[in-house]
Copies of this chain bind each other. A is one copy, B any other.
Amino acid sequence: MNIDYFTHRLEKLKTDKMYQNDFFLTWEKTDDEIAALFAVADALRHLRENNISARIFDSGLAVSLFRDNSTRTRFSFASAANLLGLEVQDLDEGKSQIAHGETVRETANMISFMADVIGIRDDMYIGKGNAYMREVAQAVQQGCEEGVLEQRPTLVNLQCDIDHPTQSLADMLHVIHHFGGVENLKGKKIAMSWAYSPSYGKPLSVPQGIIGLMTRFGMDVCLAHPEGYEVMADVEGVAAKNAAGAGGSFTRTNSMAEAFKDADIVYPKSWAPFAAMEKRTNLYAEGDDAGIRALEKELLSQNAGHKDWACTEEMMRLTKGGDALYMHCLPADITGVSCKEGEVDGSVFDRYRKPLYKEAGFKPYIIAAMIFLAKCKDPASALSALASNNSARQVR
């Protein structure tokens, strides 16, 4: 296998709109564009596995802004940037002189004079994170048009209140590799299921990202959660439309067992009810600390009523052949390991540890592919050029 395998895939796809563009939500991208991302991610991995440099930048900055703690995504972003030749510069708002009331437009331009990418994680408040990213992207677009910026930094959504595209795309590429190709996914059943966790308020972006993306490949996507744990209605609409278009299905259930029944893939994970997260956002806006504490108490008690929503050995036996592919964005709340009762049994998690780590390993390549496609006008040629340069990543 050589680089042509990937560039031939790429050449058949229409990707010109990705050039100089951003990545906010997977459902804003065409099937060709999603396919291109997978092709480039695979190609970049191929280059690296063969010790061939994938640097397309001699210098340049990749600005990161994390408004929530992160290990996996932080290191994935740093890895992707470094692979392509960019240096990460973190915008630590605590160390910044961002004036009270300083406009997003101003900050966005001030950090972007030599920025090629801006990656943002902002997933805490409903209606805020994605909106903030778009505001930043518009600001640098305008800055570029006005001649303030010499290059247009690409915005990469590293998790927002709506979607978590670098996660869902890494997950999807893992599924594709696991089943030996996208052509084998038709009719496969995936259970995106809520699961109990002793913490509360986990972001909705993962389940929303999964149903918004995985419904595009002809699979039967089943969203399961206890009553009251509904996700954003808009994203359910996206999922239903996707499924109809791709010849698969999108179903909902309030039974974990029903979702797991004959599933080829299971993705059990805790999240907070969308309605509660919306309420919390409003309480924060009002500075209502007592209200927040009351809501937290209410949510924890609500959660505690659903401890049976766990990915146990018994539950796994319901899946196709008893050995569905178990997925998680990590870290998982593992019963008896990281908590007393959690999302998944220790024995289940242990059995799937290797594929879980591999799943996580796709994320740096997905992010690098997003940047690559936004920066290279002719990505197939750019990949071929890297392969023929054959410059060593490490002199051994």
A→B interface (CB under 8 Å): 45, 48-49, 53-61, 63, 66, 68-72, 74-76, 78-79, 82-83, 85, 87-89, 91, 95-103, 106-107, 109-111, 113-114, 116, 143, 146-150, 330-331, 333-334, 337-339, 354, 357-358, 360-361, 363-364, 375-377, 382, 385-386, 391-396
Contacts and interface: CB of A to CB of B under 8 A. Distances in A.
A87 B82 contact: yes
27 contacts: A49-B150, A57-B394, A57-B395, A59-B85, A60-B393, A61-B82, A63-B75, A71-B91, A71-B96, A75-B91, A75-B111, A75-B113, A82-B87, A83-B114, A88-B89, A99-B338, A100-B339, A102-B331, A102-B338, A103-B337, A106-B357, A116-B394, A146-B357, A148-B361, A375-B394, A376-B395, A382-B396
A395 B391 contact: no
Nearest to A386: B395
A376 B392 CA distance: 13
B394 A58 contact: yes
**Copies of the protein in its oligomer:** 3
Contacts of A385: 395
B110 A98 contact: no
A70 B96 contact: yes
Nearest to A357: B148
Contacts of A147: 358
A111 B77 CA distance: 11
Contact of A79 (B53, B61, B85): B61
Contact of A78 (B70, B72, B89, B337): B89
B58 A360 contact: no
A24 to B, nearest CB: 22
Contacts of A394: 56-58, 60, 116, 375
The 7 closest A-B pairs by CB, nearest first: A101-B338, A79-B114, A99-B331, A71-B96, A148-B357, A69-B97, A56-B395
Contact of A113 (B53, B95, B361): B361
A106 to B, nearest CB: 7
A320 to B, nearest CB: 24
A56 B391 CA distance: 12
Contacts of A149: 361
Given A54-B59, A100-B339, 5 more contacts: A53-B59, A61-B79, A71-B91, A75-B89, A99-B338
A340 to B, nearest CB: 10
A58 B59 contact: no
B78 A61 contact: yes
A66 B95 contact: yes
A110 B79 contact: no
B330 A106 contact: yes
B101 A339 contact: yes
A338 B100 contact: yes
